[in-house]
Every structure is written in C-alpha cells, then in structure tokens.
C-alpha cells in the first residue's frame, strides 16, 4: 500500500513539475479540428462495415425469411434496407438531392458516367435514391483492389458491383440494366484536385456502350471534392506508389457536411458512325460542361457548407453566375 502511495505521489509530482496542463489543453483544442478531419473518413469505412454486418445477418437468416418473401432475389429486401440507411445519411449530412431525372430515358438500359470523388460517397447516395425510386437498381464497376478487402465481396454481391470488362458491361446493358462507371477510377479519386477529368486513353466504357447500343448519361455531383479530399503533400510519392501497385496510398481527410446535388446531363444516344474515341470525347466534353455549369472552381469547403442554407445557396450561385458573365 505504501509503495502504491509513493507511486501516486511520484506521478503527481512529475505532472505538476514537468507538464504544463494549460498548454496541453490548449494544444489539444488547437489540434482537434485537424484530428477530426482525418477521423471522419473512418466513419464512412465503419458505416460500410456495418452495412456488411447487416448483410451477413440477413444472409444467415435467409432460410427463415425466404418463405416470407415472394421475390426470387434473396438480396432484394436487404438492398432496400441498405438503401434506406444511405439515403438517410445523405439527407441528414449533405442535404443530398438529384436534379435532372427528367433527362433519363423512359425505358431501356443506361450507362451512367460520373466524376470520381476522393471517396465516391455521392455514388452511394445516388444508388440509394435510384433504388428507392421507380428507376431501380444501378449496377456499378469497382476497382479490382476493392474485391481483396475483407467484407467487400458481400457488398458487391448484394449491390451488383463488378470488376468490369468490356464484355461483362456490354452484357449487362444488353439485358436492359442501368450501369455506372467512372473512367477516371481510383487515379482520378487520388490525384484530381480541381475537378479535372483524368481518363487518360480509357475507352472501355465507350466500347461497351457502342456494342450494346445503350445511351450514355453523364452525371456529376456538386461539391463532392469538398466533402473529402486527398492529402496533396507527397503527391509525387503517392503517384509513384500507385503506378507501381495500383493501390491508393494518399491519405484522405474530410467528412465535411457540404451541400451535395447530383446533376444528370442529357443522354448521348447510340450513333453507328461514332468510333469509341469519338464517343469518349463527346462524353468527356458533356461531363466537363456539367462541371463548369454547376461547380465553383476552385472549390471552397466553407462556402459549400453554407450552401446547405437555401437563401445563402441562391445568393452564392447568383454571385457566381455574375462573375461568369463578367
């Protein structure tokens, strides 16, 4: 007991004599915003794993539930539950909306081409709203490295996420499905800063669209790059690491509650005279027009948060349009 008292006294004397409590508290408060910006992306990963956990439970109890479900797809009810979770998150945290649904063809397949944010959280919200609306399920293409992450395969199985080849994408479209692809992929997610489209010479989506004769619809989410960003310090090192491994290494920060609106562009219909290169250029130009029309460049996190307030959003957009006219 005496030894314990001596230890406590030593700790107390050490803290009092050598540690400035006020300075420690001040330093903690100063660093707290920085720590939070790096912790918020982890919340998205946690939410994804919670989603995977819910799906595992659903799969475990499928034998008991299948008699109560009339659909032959065991994931249909689970998809709706997952979509409801993500739709609620998008509405609460980002005031998420979709504009331009009237541009979608009434029937038949659609190939959605989108800009890839640092974290494609806008795509999760878009898929959720589409699934809960009359439009239904949108298949998606994801990078191969994601399928090596524990827990991702069950998400992919439920939400119809595929690695994606020209043949598999074309087959899905020929079957009349919706399909979403980001030609920029992880490279665009990690290294695009001011909403540049970084497609290089990727033509796979154009070949799939021409082979299936499906219309291509560009979509862009306003402020997606303000919600999450990749760290720009050490960019050249991360770029080399990515070129060697095809794995993203640039750390992410953010989770800011910016206003998000997904804008759906006019469809680009099948034209037999177009080559894959021509179609890629046309889609690229159409998506760039969407970005130029709806996105403040360079982006501003604070203004994007203030746009959650309708009055300020109208005022900020009015000022932005005046600057464009000048």
| pLDDT tens string 239-251 | 999 999 989 999 9
Please state, for a pLDDT cut of 90, what percent of the chain lies above it.
Answer: 57
Determine, yes or no, domain membership for 59: yes
Determine, yes or no, domain membership for 77: yes
Phi, psi of 213 (to 5 degrees): 60, 25
Query: If pLDDT is split at 50, 70 and 90, which confidence band does 321 have?
Result: low
Determine, yes or no, domain membership for 86: yes
Determine, yes or no, domain membership for 262: yes
Phi, psi of 32 (to 5 degrees): -55, -45
Determine, yes or no, domain membership for 24: no
Give me the chain's average pLDDT, please.
86
Domain count, the chain: 1
Enumerate residues 6+ apart whose C-beta is below 8 A from 30.
none
Supply the range of the domain harboring residue 62. Answer: 40-295
Reply yes or no on whether the pLDDT at 230 is more than 60. Answer: yes
**Cα–Cα distance for residue pair 81/87, rounded to 1 Å:** 10
Determine, yes or no, domain membership for 153: yes
Percent helix, strand, coil in the chain, to 5, is 60, 10, 30
pLDDT of residue 67: 53
pLDDT of residue 204: 94
What's the CATH number where 254 sits? 3.40.1130
Cβ-contact 295, 226 below 8 angstroms? no
Query: For residue range 65-123, what is the model confidence (pLDDT) as tens digits?
Result: 565 455 567 788 788 888 888 998 999 999 999 999 999 998 899 999 999 999 999 99
- Hey, which residues does 98 pair with through a beta bridge? 262
- Between 265 and 318, name the one with better pLDDT: 265
Query: If pLDDT is split at 50, 70 and 90, which confidence band does 169 have?
Result: very high
Cβ-contact 86, 154 below 8 angstroms? no
pLDDT of residue 208: 96
Q: DSSP assignment, residue 268?
A: B
Instruction: Report the catalytic residues.
Output: 116
Determine, yes or no, domain membership for 204: yes
Determine, yes or no, domain membership for 285: yes
């Amino acid at each position: 007991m005496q030894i314990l008292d001596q230890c406590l006294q030593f700790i107390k004397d050490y803290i009092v004599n050598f540690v400035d409590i006020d300075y420690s508290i001040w330093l903690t408060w100063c660093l707290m915003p920085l720590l939070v910006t790096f912790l918020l992306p982890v919340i998205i990963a946690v939410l994804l794993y919670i989603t995977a956990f819910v799906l595992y439970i659903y799969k475990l109890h499928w034998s008991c539930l299948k008699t109560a479900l009339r659909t032959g797809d065991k994931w249909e009810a689970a998809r709706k539950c997952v979509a409801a979770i993500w739709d609620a998150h998008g509405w609460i945290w980002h005031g998420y909306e979709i504009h331009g649904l009237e541009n979608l063809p009434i029937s038949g397949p659609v190939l959605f081409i989108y800009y890839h944010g640092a974290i494609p959280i806008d795509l999760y919200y878009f898929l959720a709203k589409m699934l809960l609306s009359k439009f239904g399920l949108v298949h998606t293409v994801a990078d191969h490295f994601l399928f090596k992450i524990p827990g991702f395969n069950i998400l992919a199985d439920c939400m119809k996420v595929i690695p994606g080849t020209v043949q598999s994408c074309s087959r899905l479209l020929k079957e009349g499905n919706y399909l979403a692809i980001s030609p920029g992929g992880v490279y665009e997610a990690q290294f695009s800063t001011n909403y540049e489209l970084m497609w290089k010479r990727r033509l796979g989506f154009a070949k799939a669209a021409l082979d299936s004769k499906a219309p291509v619809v560009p979509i862009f989410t306003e402020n997606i790059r303000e919600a999450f960003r990749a760290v720009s310090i050490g960019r050249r090192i991360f770029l080399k690491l990515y070129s060697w491994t095809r794995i993203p290494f640039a750390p992410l920060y953010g989770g800011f509650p910016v206003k998000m609106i997904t804008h759906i562009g006019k469809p680009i219909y099948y034209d037999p005279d177009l080559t894959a290169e021509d179609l890629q250029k046309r889609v690229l130009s159409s998506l760039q027009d969407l970005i130029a029309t709806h996105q403040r460049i360079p982006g501003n996190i604070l203004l994007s948060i203030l746009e959650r307030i309708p009055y300020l959003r109208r005022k900020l957009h009015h000022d932005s349009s005046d600057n464009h006219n000048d």
